[in-house]
Amino acid sequence: MTDRSNLKSLKALFLYLLRYLLQEAKGRTEVGSTMSSVSAYYNGKTVLITGATGFMGKVLVEKLLRSSPDVKAVYILVRPKAGQSMQERVANMLKCKVFDRVREDCPNFHEKIKPINAELTQPKLAISAEDEEELLTRVNIVFHCAATVRFDEPLKHALQLNAMGTQRLLELAQQMQKLEAFIHISTAYANCVRKCIDEIIYPPPAEPKKLFDLVEWLDESIIQDITPKLLGDWPNTYTYTKALSEYLIQQEKGNLNIAIIRPSIVGASWHEPFPGWIDSFNGTSGIFVAAGKGILRTVIANNEAVADMIPVDVVINLTLAAGWYTAVHRPKNMLVYNCTTGGINPFFWGEMEQYVMSTFKRNPLEQAFRTPNAHLTSNYLINQYWITVSHKAPAILYDLYMRLTGRKPRMMKIINRLHKSMMLLQYFSTQSWDWSSDNMNMLMSQLNTEDKKLYNFDVRQLHWSEYIESYCLGAKKYLLNEDMSGIPAAKQHLRKLRNIRYAFNTTLLVIIWRIFIARSQMARNIWYFVVSLCYKFLSYFRASSTLRH
């Protein structure tokens, strides 16, 4: 009897322990699902980033340090530039407002950033033997963001940085002993000669190695002369060299785990580190500012074409998620991610005009040249007419006024630079592309609930009117350093400009009257006919309104 009771007690104890262990396991699973797998992956890792001092690079560094505070180290390749040493450039970068949030959470965040003196256009990246050894024995993941994004960059320099620099970085990465993933930032327009772009690597516009040999021994002036012939259907050296880079990576990746991110037109941040952050006039930012200042009056664009913009934090969230997926899941084939909005949440150039103008009229920029009133047109002749009347003529008059008052004329110079930018952008503002996004959707499905919040790249949630307003206000605050408290004064300035415009138009009408109408009997007859017709119409409208009431 005693043995049987002991057996029952042991059985009860066993069942109790089993239930306890199952509950513990369930609890751990639930806790694990609420933790960020992406953030956890980067904790304890050593990361190498190129292009860290650029717009996207700064956002990547900030997000990585803020979301994975236990990341071991972040190496950044930096070169001396514009008279600044590597140390000065890094110090200026770390003072940037983009790091304010991470600075509050972790005041010593800068200690994890390890700058390396390097030059992508030089053999072996011009890295010292000591620094090279450090990178080869420590780096776990590489993010290659460095590139020249100038559309009109001379072909030789664009090739050296965008294509040959990528090749040299790949050679270094292949020697890294602990490397788990290599993420390359390309562009959605690398294959813009195609209307439908899948997430695959397409044949290159030329054989990269032959092209490298060609530009090495040819004189710069000759290269410049043959550049249009070499580019073929590609609109600029940026997209051309990005297409070459993608092909190079595919051919020379070896056993590396690589992913390629293709963002479209990268704009201000959506949410992180705070809405509207921007520090570059590239892309649409400079156009927004020029329109807000009243300098820009006409733009060549197709109202019905898709303006495929992507917020910078969306690109960075996708990039970090792709780094995690590439390292942890090790896909058999190299994955390409089209990071675009056009096929998922389309936004049109005609809508952009409305939202930008509406925002700047409600929140004007300080010391505007004229009231904001830019218009889009797809007609070349109409565009040229408005360029002459609304851009060049006022610029010439303004510069004349500046000279007469003993100041340096500058408006015509600004207008010429603006027209050059508009010409370079015209290829992208007058047509649309279809990008597939299967890999981006697949990656989103691999994220747990917490990761989808922390690394949100679901552009279906993007409300364009709110985003464009945030973008314009960000340009005002972060690009122009204008305080929002100055809006009442800016509105008062716009009212003055409006009164000046009315006075000018009235004066012009009087002059036209005196010169043409008052001196010609036929012109006077036509004028009186038009006035009497307007008067009759108004009388009829007034009578109709009275009868209805």
* Domain boundaries defined on the chain: 37-278+304-347+432-448, 493-548
- Cβ proximity of 211 and 125 under 8 Å: no
Q: Where are the beta strands (DSSP E) in 147-305?
A: 181-185, 196-197, 258-263, 265-267, 298-300
Q: Amino acid letter at 456? A: N
* pLDDT in the model for residue 92: 87
Instruction: State pLDDT tens for residues 86-123.
Output: 888 888 888 888 999 988 888 888 889 999 999 998 98
Query: Taking the CA atoms of the chain, what radius of gyration do you get in angstroms?
Result: 30
User: Amino acid identity of 500?
Assistant: I
The residue to which tokens 């929140």 are assigned: 363
Local structure of 142: helix, strand or coil: strand
**What is the Cα–Cα distance from 134 to 72, expressed in whole angstroms?**
14
In terms of phi and psi (left: phi > 0; alpha: psi -120 to 50; beta: otherwise), the region of 99 is alpha
CA distance 91 to 94: 5
- Given a cut of 60, is residue 267 above it in pLDDT? yes
Q: Quote the CA–CA distance of 54 and 259 in Å, as a whole number.
A: 21
Tokens of 508: 């012009």
Give the model confidence (pLDDT) of 176-224 as tens digits. 999 999 999 999 999 999 999 999 999 999 898 889 888 888 888 888 8
Residue 24: pLDDT above 50? no
pLDDT tens-digit readout, 460-513: 999 999 999 999 999 999 999 999 988 999 888 888 888 887 887 788 777 776
- The lowest-confidence range among 80-89, 268-277, 441-450 is 80-89
Q: Which amino acid is at 290?
A: A
Return phi, psi of residue 309, to 5°: -100, 150
**In terms of CATH architecture, what is 37-278+304-347+432-448?**
3-Layer(aba) Sandwich (3.40)
**Token pair for 311:** 């917020």
Res. 130 pLDDT band, cuts 50 70 90: very high
Q: How far is CA 335 from CA 166, 220, 309, 363, 443, in A?
A: 17, 36, 22, 43, 10
Quick check: helix, strand or coil at residue 497?
helix
pTM recorded for the entire structure = 0.85
Q: Is the pLDDT of residue 352 over 60?
A: yes
pLDDT at 70 over 70: yes
Choose the weakest-confidence range: 188-192, 266-270, 515-519: 515-519
CA–CA separation, 272 vs 453, rounded Å? 12
| pLDDT higher than 50, residue 311 | yes
- pLDDT over 70 (residue 408): yes
Q: How far apart are CA 412 and CA 407, in angstroms?
A: 14
